Structure 1
Amino acid sequence: LDNMVDDYWKLRYRRGLQSWKTSQLPSVITHNLVDDAGDDILNFVRRANLVNNRHDRVKIVYHPDFVSTTSPLFGMDYGQFVRGCHLGVFPSYYEPWGYTPLECVARGVPAVTSDLSGFGDYVQKNVPEHEDKGIFVVNRQERSFDQSAEELTNMMWDFVLQNRRERITQRNRVESSADIFDWKNLRVYYDRAYALALERQ
């Protein structure tokens, strides 16, 4: 019988048995960190008591490394990983531009950004009906953290209430709006900024 089952399935079987027999909670992190007591994300997870208890409605998998095809955990490139997600959430406090929500949009994944990022600011000013296109912007300018968190919560709640057909339709809209952010369209703004900088010298 051992000759009929390859090593991969033997390993999966042993790991399955081990996880079934253990009383320990699943780890929230995929790597051992040199200074995990100083890691901001782990400290937040601990303070919030998000420790993967059976009754927790939110489960955490913190992967403090780049996603790549050589990673034994994912075994896929970053683009494939992003494409497999349902929603990208990046409500930045400040970013000059902020590429992560744009990377989602380019791959047809709805994304949340904030009006304190250059990308979010650009979307609000230049993309009409951006929420219908699956690009959501949390208002953080001159608003309290709690107000912004409430808005983000409502956005995410509305998203999870969508049925499968609505999510697919939204993904298609996101993907079709990605051309708005093509370099050939955005370059004109860089050219203007460069010309303005030369004028002011």
Structure 2
Amino acid sequence: MKARNVFRKLGMTVAVGALVLTATPTAIADTTPTPAAGKTFADFLQQHDAAQRAAATCTNVYIQSPAMVRYWSTRSDSSGYTGSMLSATSTSVGGWQFFRVCQLGGGNYSFSAYQTGKYVSAELDYPGADYGMLRARADSVGDWERFRIACSGNLCTIQSAKNGKYVSAEYAYAGSGYGMLRARADSAAEWEKFYIYNYLG
């Protein structure tokens, strides 16, 4: 399915030829669900009236970091300060790797963990190496739960709408911090680019 169809549902404009949804990587195809196929989002939207199309829309996704070929995951093994931390460390996709992306208006989007329904927050009051940590812990959407999504070519970047920083996968961290997702980068390099796969399961 083309990115134009996916993000048209969410109200995003994607350059001609740009793709967000790509073929499942062959290296881990046996553990990865197949992206949604069949009816396009354009077909879906044509079945709804203007009032319904104007309402907030959502879609289910899983997200991959091509830097290490790892998927975003909500860490169910963490608690307290790092409870429900997001990291790009999973080699396969299951319940903890699914997220729901919803249009908020004004070019902003929310992410929520499909497993818990909690919104993803950028922890902008955390100090030092934990600044901007992403955690699926919020019951409602505030400033820290708003993000911007932009796509170029096959890749997407995600920014915190509050601080304007790009989300990075921290592959230089060791131990439990490896692959931590943080809204902390001023520009987008390899660790700040992600594939977004639509999934309607």
TM-score normalised by the chain length of structure 1: 0.29
Q: Which of the two has greater strand per residue?
A: 2
Give the TM-score normalised by the residue count of structure 2: 0.29
More helix by share: 1
Q: Which has the higher contact order (CA 8 A, sep 6+)?
A: 2
